[in-house]
Amino acid sequence: MKILSVVGARPNFMKVAPLHRLLLFKEGIDAKVIHTGQHYDERMSDIFFRQLELPEPDIFLGVGSGSHAVQTSKIMVKFEKVVDDENPDLVIVVGDVNSTVACTLVAKKKHVKVAHIEAGLRSFDRKMPEEINRIVTDSISDLLFVTEESGEKNLQNEGIKNHKIKMVGNVMIDSLLHFQTKSQKLKVLEKLGVEKNNYGLVTLHRPSNVDDEQSLSQALEILQKVSKRIPLVFPIHPRTYKNARKYGLDSYLDNNKKIIVTDPQGYLEFLNLMENARVVITDSGGIQEETTFLKVPCLTLRDNTERPITVEKGSNTLLPMDKQQIINKVEEVLEGKYKRGEVPHLWDGKAANRIVNVLLN
């Protein structure tokens, strides 16, 4: 059986790595990794292949950035040639980025089966491009690997047959557990001059938070306020950095020694920062899951989440971009009054094994 696993953006690598490691050693499986190049920055892409012990991608499409239509169409044109040349039995896609939906569409029109890892997640906000990618991908995939109960229910409500839906757990946690010891040995905190359990970790990259001048200004003002209570480490996304400069919001970043701005971090470095943080402030999806597993308080600056289990059972809280609400929640964390949370069912580091067993059977 020939299997093509598609990666394109940073979160994809952590999901494909544990699965690809297993597939490489299965007799009768010819497994290849296709990197679309949706994230092409060295710090956002290449370093992940090295750190996650993935071999160089078998095929690199190098599509680069562009609008959603431009990027999706470029991926489709280039991936179609790959499918023609490779003639795979199965294409594995992960997550909810443009590479996910583009390669799914190509594979299905070529009558190739598709397995979607992290299926069924819904924010119910169709203004988010990721939500459209999820819905389209799930509607035509042949196997849907689910991380949490809400995913199963969402797919059933959308008319997906039960035999296609497989509850397997979370492959992100497979990667976290596999690399946790290696990550813990790094001297990241020393280099940044912060102490364990005495800093907040920040990531902001969603267009709704960083593309609009007013939204970004409000977000940076809130961080400035929070930094008066606890130092913040802020690995800044290229998009966020570019917009801060564009709108003349440099002072929020340059004139505050309590906000330590860094380049985007490698997977191991970021895992170290996450595990040792007192609180994480983010708008990311995957970080909600990782902090839930680590039981680190996570404040997600969004009105909704496609990962409700992180709020219902985990250590995540959804918050609007409201200064006082965020400050109050940070105080709750610092005073030791924040919820502890629990690790969801099947988030045990064995999700990739379950996926491979389904594929082989």
Question: What homologous superfamily does CATH list for 2-169+347-360?
Answer: Glycogen Phosphorylase B; (3.40.50.2000)
User: For all residues of the chain together, what is the average pLDDT?
Assistant: 94
Q: Which residues are part of the catalytic machinery? A: 205
User: Tell me, what's the pLDDT at 253?
Assistant: 86
User: Tell me, what's the pLDDT at 46?
Assistant: 66
User: Across the strands, what pairs with 320?
Assistant: none
Report the pLDDT averaged over residues 274-302: 97
User: Across the strands, what pairs with 261?
Assistant: 234
Report the pLDDT averaged over residues 76-92: 98
- Residue whose tokens read 């594929």: 359
Q: Pseudo-torsion of CA 360, 91, 60, 45, nearest 10°?
A: -80
121-172 pLDDT, tens digit each: 999 999 999 999 999 999 999 999 999 999 999 999 999 999 999 999 999 9
User: Tell me, what's the pLDDT at 238?
Assistant: 86
Residue 10 has pLDDT above 90, yes or no: no
| Residue of 184, 232, 243, 185 whose CA lies nearest to 210 | 243
Q: How confident is the model at residue 233 (pLDDT cuts 50, 70, 90)?
A: very high
Residue 38 has pLDDT above 90, yes or no: no
Domain 2-169+347-360 matches domain 180-334 at the CATH topology level: yes
Q: How confident is the model at residue 45 (pLDDT cuts 50, 70, 90)?
A: low
189-216 pLDDT, tens digit each: 999 999 999 999 999 998 889 999 999 9
CA distance linking residue 75 with residue 59, whole number of Å: 12
User: Tell me, what's the pLDDT at 215?
Assistant: 92
**Residue 157 dihedral angles phi and psi, to the nearest 5°:** -65, -25
User: Tell me, what's the pLDDT at 234?
Assistant: 97
* Helices 171-184 & 351-360 angle (0-180, nearest 10): 140
SS3 114: strand
In this structure, which CATH number among 3.40.50.2000, 3.30.420.40, 3.30.420.480, 3.40.50.720 belongs to the domain 180-334? 3.40.50.2000
User: Tell me, what's the pLDDT at 239?
Assistant: 87
CA distance linking residue 197 with residue 277, whole number of Å: 5
Give me the residue spans of the domains in the chain: 2-169+347-360, 180-334
- E strand or H helix at 338: none
DSSP secondary structure letter of residue 229 = T
**Residue 317 dihedral angles phi and psi, to the nearest 5°:** -135, 130
Q: What is the percent of the chain with per-residue pLDDT over 90, rounded to a whole number?
A: 85
